[in-house]
Structure 1
Amino acid sequence: MITRSELGLLQQSLCERRRDLLAALQGEYGDLAGARPPEVLGPESHPDETASRKARDELRTALARHDFDELQQIDAALARIAAGRYGACVECGDPIGYERLVAAPYTARCVSCQTAFEQHRATRK
């Protein structure tokens, strides 16, 4: 069971990370969502330049997707805090260790349930 002060620290950490992710998604990756016009390469562009640009865009898209996924996990964790269910595994209801929550404050599952979840997901691919 986590204490009230530990919960406050974890909530603060979640809110700070959320703010950082929103800034990155709106700033660094804003053009991926149409907030900024993308850099246009003209027809005279070298094929290597075009391929390099495509690889860079794919990497930025993957990074933005990762950040967005983390943002969703943070929002779910904040909702669990508001509902009084934070710190309990969403699968089995057992407490999630404070050290695990410090390492990843948006963690929703205990180690056992997370392992089973990942194994199940891996077999579906």
Structure 2
Amino acid sequence: MITLTSSELALLDHRLRERRRELLAALYGEYGDLAGARPPEALGPESHPDETASRKAGDELRAALARHDRDELQRIDGALARITAGLYGACVECGDPIGYERLAAAPYTVRCVSCQTAFEQHRHIRQ
């Protein structure tokens, strides 16, 4: 049984949608070249090796940040889909309610604390 009030659900939905807009702006703005929206800045053959290495490190960091943002965007889209389906706030493992405080901290959370702990322990054992 999901125990969120309608005002709590509305607030979480708003926060998810706002964060989604922020991520899309970053992905198509700051990381636009990594998402294919604009071509990367080219270095000429006369570029200093340090400049080339620095540019490569910067590109790798931005690519990692863009991947992180895309992953978060997918989790947000999943949460919004669960809201639409009426399943938001229920643990995907056991079906128990996820506390409002937990959802307020990370609105795309899919597991209750108990199931998330078990999931992380199982994942740690497999690694």
**Range class of TM-score, shorter chain:** over 0.9
Aligned mate of 1:77, from 70, 76, 79 = 79
Between the aligned partners of 1:50 and 1:105, the Cα distance in structure 2 is 40
Residues 1:15 and 2:6 aligned together: no
Task: After TM superposition, give the deviation of residue 35 of structure 1 in Å.
Answer: 1.0
Residues 40-75 of structure 1: CA deviation (Å, up to 9, x unaligned):
111111111111111101110010001000000000
> When the two structures are superposed, what TM-score results if normalisation uses the length of structure 2?
0.94
Counterpart position of 2:107? 105
1:123, distance to aligned residue in structure 2 (A)? 3.5
Partner AA of 2:34 in structure 1:
L
d(CA) in 2 for partners of 1:121, 1:61: 25
Residue 10 of structure 1: how far off its partner (Å): 0.5
Whole-angstrom distance in 2 between the partners of 1:51 and 1:5: 51
Structure that is richer in helix per residue:
1
Matches within 5 A, 1:62-73: 62-73=64-75
Separation in 2 of the partners of 1:120 and 1:34? 37
Gaps of 5+ in 1: none
Question: What secondary structure, in the 3-state scheme, does the structure 1 residue paired with 2:63 have?
Answer: helix
List per-residue Cα deviations over 1:56-97 (Å, max 9, x = no partner).
Answer: 011100100010000000000001001111001001111101
Indicate the percent of aligned positions where both proteins have the same amino acid. Answer: 82
The amino acid that maps onto 2:84 is A
What is the Cα-based RMSD across aligned positions, in Å? 1.0
Q: CA deviation at 1:114?
A: 1.3
- TM-score between the two structures when normalised by the length of structure 1: 0.95
Letter in 2 for 1:17: R
Are positions 1:56 and 2:53 aligned together? no
CA-CA distance at 1:118 after TM superposition: 2.2
Contiguous gaps of at least 5 residues in structure 2: none
Looking at structure 1, the residues matched to 60 and 126 of structure 2 have their Cα atoms a distance apart, in angstroms, of 25
Equivalent-residue separation in structure 2 for 1:51 and 1:122 (angstroms): 35
**Number of residue pairs matched by the alignment:** 125
Report the Cα distance in structure 1 between the residues aligned to 2:40 and 2:52, rounded to whole angstroms.
Answer: 13
